[in-house]
Structure 1
Amino acid sequence: MDKETRNAIERATQRIRRILQEDFAEQLDAVFDVRLDGRVAEEGGQHLTGRELLLRDRIVAAVEHKRRAGMKQADAVRDYIRDAAFTTLNRFAALKMLEPRGLVQECIGRGENSNGFTEFCGLAPALKTADGAGYRLYIESIFDELSTEVKVLFDRRDPASVLWPKKAIFDEMLEILNGADLKVVWKEDETIGWIYQFFNSGEERRQMRDESQAPRNSRELAIRNQFFTPSYVVQFLTDNTLGRIWYKMCEGRTGLAETCTYMVKASGSAPKSSDSAKKDPRDLRILDPACGSGHFLLYCFALLLLIYEEAWHDETSPTSSVTGRTLRRDYATLEDLKKATPGLILRHNLHGVDIDPRCAQIAQLALWMRAQRAFNDAKISRGERPIIRRANVVIAEPMPGDPKVVEDFSATLQPAMVANLFNEIVSEMRLAGEMGSLLPIERTLARSIDRARAAFNEEQSHTKKFLPGLAPIKRQGEFDLSGISNSAFFEKVEDNIFSALKAFVSDAVNGKGTRRRLFADDAEQGIAFVEMMGRRFDVLLMNPPFGASSLIAKRDFEAAYPKTKNNLYAAFVERGVQLLNQGGCLGAITSRSGFYLSTFKYWREEILLKTAPPMVVADLGYGVLDGAKVEAAAYCLEVRK
């Protein structure tokens, strides 16, 4: 995408953000009695209808949820407005991208004259109203339909979706999105990623850096490190990690040798079978530990489509650890495989983590659209496509900050060891928003599970002292830790907690529903993050943050990474190597400073030269990352622990 087109996206994004935030701030103050200075009236005014009172309860609960997570009252209100504007923009940008892909009927391309709304009104002519209420009903019905698969963006229960732009603002937003200068962008997969980057202006980033050399919190850390990775860099790093691994597994006999045009191959003979044992594609795990809009994951998706098909044709392909069977056994025909592959890729292969909650909206939407494109390329009709409900994209953020809700929920967990483990995770996740994938949560989890196992063994020993027939009766479904691994134990705990969260939300009374749902959403994200950090991966791809850690996490960060604490990107490489299997590959674009500055001596000598030596390095220089004043290098490492 050329600079002129990117500039057009930036102008449109900033303009829409401004008008939405101004409108939503005015609505909060004038309608819902929520002031920008953080003051919130105890009760809604008499001017509010019954429906508006319910909406106000959701807004107030969302603001209070942010405040209990550590924000000042005024910051919590501003953050809610920002969330609402971002979600609104993303939803309508998503519709603009779905229209040319045939995934929705034309619905906003010509406003109320769009074909979809015209047909909708043919069934109910009274919906064509001057105030736009009927058009809103139509758009919301599309959101509801899409939320069955892209819930994180289109779920109308999300408090960020409570506000709807006034008609004049709504019309102006559609006019901008439908402008001639943006006509070419909606067919491009990367457009939604640029919207994500440009939502925060360069001026905002400069102001943050002027006020503090180091990021002061997780939001600043995320915003200051939003740099879209160019497509050629994504391809270079992925071709030489995922592409190279499959190339070696196939001893060079793979179509990826031609598809991966940036793959650097050793001259002479093809790789030997002893270089890398074959795997079923379902057992290949890929992680982007700072995934942003999911650019790396999207290109991995394209390569994995080819990998799955090659493995299906390969008579020597091994069985999968997932099913215990080969792809050919699980999918009798190539058509069956193509119908299943997009879901398999999102379920088993691709994983992403970020500290910015908005990434979940962007990355999951982008991956869902990529899956639909794969279905379309395989000529699989909409009615025959399996539903894809979510991707493995999780947000690293503190667990719920309301001690009372945590206490109430913990009291519902049985047995006590599960409640204890949950409380320990909540405590250890307090810096997840600042450290993200750098948080070594799996080490804490291992110690916690060891304590739970010791308590279980002690109880078992105590039970053996009873005479036959007099021991306490074991309740059905009670945890049994005998002979199971830590990962198997955590799977049991995870299922237990998720079931309890659903019950906790459904049992809410007296207006506690939104509060508990926000708690449950955060808790589910936290548990999913812990589970993901306990896995090990074959490929790790990233454009990590660089510079200093956030001030809040400085002490913990330096304690966890004493040898690479001088720069975040060095710590991310160290952490990435920890998260990889033996023979796994890491691809990263970072500052080139680590290759020559004396402060990176340990990074070079202990990580690059001993643990994960470079396979390929590209010294790219200045101006590669849009807006980043850094000389960059792209490189791929292979783990040899």
Structure 2
Amino acid sequence: MDKAKVLAFSGTLRNSLLEETKKRAAHFGIFPGETLEVEREFEDSVIIGGKIFSVKIKKQREVLVREIRQKGYMQVIEEITYIWFNRFVAIRFMEANGYMPVRVFSSKDEGRNEPEILTKALNLKFLHLDRDYVLDLKSEGEDEELYRYLIMRLCNYLHITMPFMFENIEDYSELLFPERLLHTDSLLGCLNDIISEDDWREAEIIGWIYQDYIADKKDELMKAKKAYAPNQIPAVTQLFTPKWIVQYLVENSLGRLWMLNRPDSGLCEEMEYYIIPEEKEKDFLRIFSPEEIKVCDPACGSGHMLVYAFDLLCSIYEEEGYSESEIPEIILKNNLYGIEIDGRAGSLAAFALVMKARKRNKKFFDSPVQPNICVLENIEFDDEELKDYMASVGNNLFSTGLKETLLQFKETDNFGSLIRPAATGTDPSETLRMLKEKNLSSSLTLFATHKKVKRALEQADYLSRKYHVVVANPPYMGNKGMNSDLKKFAKDNYPESKSDLFAMFIERNLDLSVKKGLIAMITMQSWMFLSSYEKLRDRILDNETILTMAHLGPRAFDSIGGEVVSTTAFVIENNHKPDYKGAYIRLVDGRNEDEKKRSLREAVVQSGKII
């Protein structure tokens, strides 16, 4: 994959879309420092800034103006820019892989510039188009408006399959849809020409594109050297993990678990970075069926860890004799779980998994399964709100711990997966199941609370579960970058690891795993040495077992914009084995990512793996 072209693509498309979004907002009388009022209103039109608009834009514009007043002009503009960026990237990926019924940004006919969706507009029955409207636009030569209409209909069609990526478009994001897409200098050139068709066929490209999309914002925030507000945390902590590191972590956790339970499995031959234990093990987590296995990434980003786990699970199911067509659905239903505070990244993680499923099963879109990706949201209740709600649905449904849990999501964007639900010993999913059976639509107030309670319980369910494998490249943020609320939370809840988010995630991931479960992570190396992490080290050495560690040191992320953090990758079993001899690989002397990757591979081969 040409990383330079991926970087050029992300920057060019982002900047072009941002300018188009600003232009569209200005077209409707919305500027950085001023919003024009509606001058006159008629039955079928409104006048804004001396220009006449259809009355149908009035409500969309009112919502947009309200959002800008609440959040600020640039935040809303950037949000809408990303919505269209996400959708265009998703459509382009599906187009390149042949997953779309029609090409949207290009044509199958060589030398033809007009997108296929435009030339076949009268034959696209799956979009349920207004045929008369299409004919009118064609006869009037309104190709731009027709193209816009077709893309809107396509996004609504894709909503059925991927609601996490293609929300039903009836909102102000439609209002700010970019113009002039058919012009020679439009966004289509960027979508079609910068990244090669072959590179678009790799699911990994989704994560690289997002990494590059947020790169400028990340640099800007880090140079400021200030504590980060909750809405800034995703940008400064997202770090896409190179595939070889992902392989090492997933193969020595998920792959190891399967090999211990199926010692004759041929999976060993597929795993490049799997380290065979020196001695035959007897004390390990027993798995009787692949459908039992729960794999979680509690800071999943754009889903790279889960995507590779999907591939490995496919091999496991195939080996067990499952039919190829049923495997993707079973994996998405039963095996993979992702938790994320960044909605944009969470959408991409879900999308990447759906694309993996579609690649394996051509009929997957006919009855799609939604991936288990939980984007954590802030949820807040008024003082009397919960009391009235519980009285209505039945106080007996809520234990004291469950009531406390509902109040823990006020600052979810700040604390994320580090939140430990108070409802220990209570299964939130059971309460959630019972609440879903209740119909409270007759009371608007209760219904609004009902939705919030269900969402809080869904989040609590993800954060309360115990997983067989927990794998992560968690956020890195030292005490200086933490805002005051996050510092207090860290001190109160993670006294042994409070100095950095990554260390808190080591502790949290151990909580999330079942007894004898496996935790695979790449983190900064400082927890291995600094006195501030002495208690964390003692906890691991006294209660758990390090199975393998690749001490990477600096420059393991050369392919990602020159990241220079010194890191270590490791797998821990949530079980104390004082006599266990782990596999430790020192890679700190490698001068760049390629050298470290090669040295890790050589060390794996020398450990006794024969390929």
Could you say which TM-score interval applies, normalised by the shorter chain? 0.7 to 0.9
For 2:487, the equivalent position in structure 1 comes to 554
CA distance in 1, matches of 2:241, 2:281: 30
For 2:433, the equivalent position in structure 1 comes to 495
Which residue type is aligned with residue 287 of structure 2? K
Higher helix share: 1
CA distance in 2, matches of 1:520, 1:162: 29
Match of 2:199, SS?
coil
Unaligned residue ranges in structure 2 (runs of 5+): 48-52, 125-130, 577-611
The CA deviation string for residues 519-559 of structure 1, in whole angstroms up to 9 with x for no partner, is: 98876554322111110001011111112263132101211
CA distance in 1, matches of 2:507, 2:213: 31
Q: Residue 340 of structure 2 contacts residue 374 of structure 2 at CA under 8 Å; is this kept in 1?
A: yes
For 1:528, the equivalent position in structure 2 comes to 458
TM-score of the two chains, using structure 2 as the length reference: 0.80
Moved more, 284-293 or 163-172: 163-172
For 2:12, the equivalent position in structure 1 comes to 15
CA distance in 2, matches of 1:78, 1:520: 33
Is the aligned partner of 1:113 residue 2:114?
yes
CA distance in 2, matches of 1:26, 1:284: 50
CA offset at residue 40 of structure 1? Answer: 8.8
For 1:211, the equivalent position in structure 2 comes to 224
CA offset at residue 363 of structure 1? Answer: 0.7
RMSD: 3.3
For 2:57, the equivalent position in structure 1 comes to 52
Which residue type is aligned with residue 423 of structure 2? L
Is the aligned partner of 1:415 residue 2:394?
yes
For 2:527, the equivalent position in structure 1 comes to 594
Which residue type is aligned with residue 598 of structure 1? S
Match of 1:429, SS?
coil
Change (3 A) 1:36 1:598: same
Match of 1:584, SS?
strand
Which residue type is aligned with residue 102 of structure 1? G
Which of 6, 21, 24 is the aligned partner of 1:24?
21
Change (3 A) 1:61 1:357: farther
Percent identical: 23
Change (3 A) 1:284 1:224: same
For 1:581, the equivalent position in structure 2 comes to 514
Map of 1:314-333 to 2, 5 A cutoff? none
Is the aligned partner of 1:399 residue 2:379?
yes
Q: Residue 96 of structure 2 contacts residue 197 of structure 2 at CA under 8 Å; is this kept in 1?
A: no
The CA deviation string for residues 157-185 of structure 1, in whole angstroms up to 9 with x for no partner, is: 47473334342267511111111444442
Q: Residue 121 of structure 1 contacts residue 127 of structure 1 at CA under 8 Å; is this kept in 2?
A: no
Q: Residue 614 of structure 1 contacts residue 638 of structure 1 at CA under 8 Å; is this kept in 2?
A: yes
Which residue type is aligned with residue 167 of structure 1? E
Q: Residue 440 of structure 2 contacts residue 450 of structure 2 at CA under 8 Å; is this kept in 1?
A: no
Is the aligned partner of 1:362 residue 2:348?
yes
CA offset at residue 130 of structure 1? Answer: 2.9
CA offset at residue 295 of structure 1? Answer: 0.3
For 1:475, the equivalent position in structure 2 comes to none
For 1:85, the equivalent position in structure 2 comes to 81
Q: Residue 413 of structure 1 contacts residue 419 of structure 1 at CA under 8 Å; is this kept in 2?
A: no
Is the aligned partner of 1:347 residue 2:315?
no
Q: Residue 44 of structure 1 contacts residue 53 of structure 1 at CA under 8 Å; is this kept in 2?
A: no
Which of 611, 620, 627 is the aligned partner of 2:543?
611
Map of 1:190-269 to 2, 5 A cutoff? 190-202=204-216, 204-214=217-227, 216-250=228-262, 252-267=263-278
For 1:622, the equivalent position in structure 2 comes to 554
CA distance in 2, matches of 1:410, 1:62: 29
Which residue type is aligned with residue 6 of structure 1? K
CA distance in 1, matches of 2:551, 2:508: 22
CA offset at residue 572 of structure 1? Answer: 0.3
CA distance in 2, matches of 1:404, 1:430: 13
Which residue type is aligned with residue 490 of structure 2? F
CA offset at residue 39 of structure 1? Answer: 6.5
Which of 471, 491, 500 is the aligned partner of 1:541?
471
For 1:455, the equivalent position in structure 2 comes to none
For 1:310, the equivalent position in structure 2 comes to 319
Change (3 A) 1:221 1:412: same
Which residue type is aligned with residue 215 of structure 2? S
Is the aligned partner of 1:148 residue 2:160?
yes
CA distance in 2, matches of 1:624, 1:154: 35
CA offset at residue 114 of structure 1? Answer: 2.6
Q: Residue 397 of structure 1 contacts residue 433 of structure 1 at CA under 8 Å; is this kept in 2?
A: yes
Moved more, 165-174 or 589-598: 165-174
Q: How many residues of Structure 1 are paired with residues of Structure 2 in the alignment?
A: 541
CA distance in 2, matches of 1:583, 1:420: 29
Match of 1:106, SS?
coil
Match of 1:151, SS?
coil
Change (3 A) 1:106 1:419: same
CA offset at residue 263 of structure 1? Answer: 0.8
Change (3 A) 1:346 1:44: farther
Q: Residue 343 of structure 1 contacts residue 386 of structure 1 at CA under 8 Å; is this kept in 2?
A: no
Q: Residue 396 of structure 1 contacts residue 525 of structure 1 at CA under 8 Å; is this kept in 2?
A: no
TM-score of the two chains, using structure 1 as the length reference: 0.77
Moved more, 111-120 or 128-137: 111-120
CA distance in 1, matches of 2:113, 2:220: 40
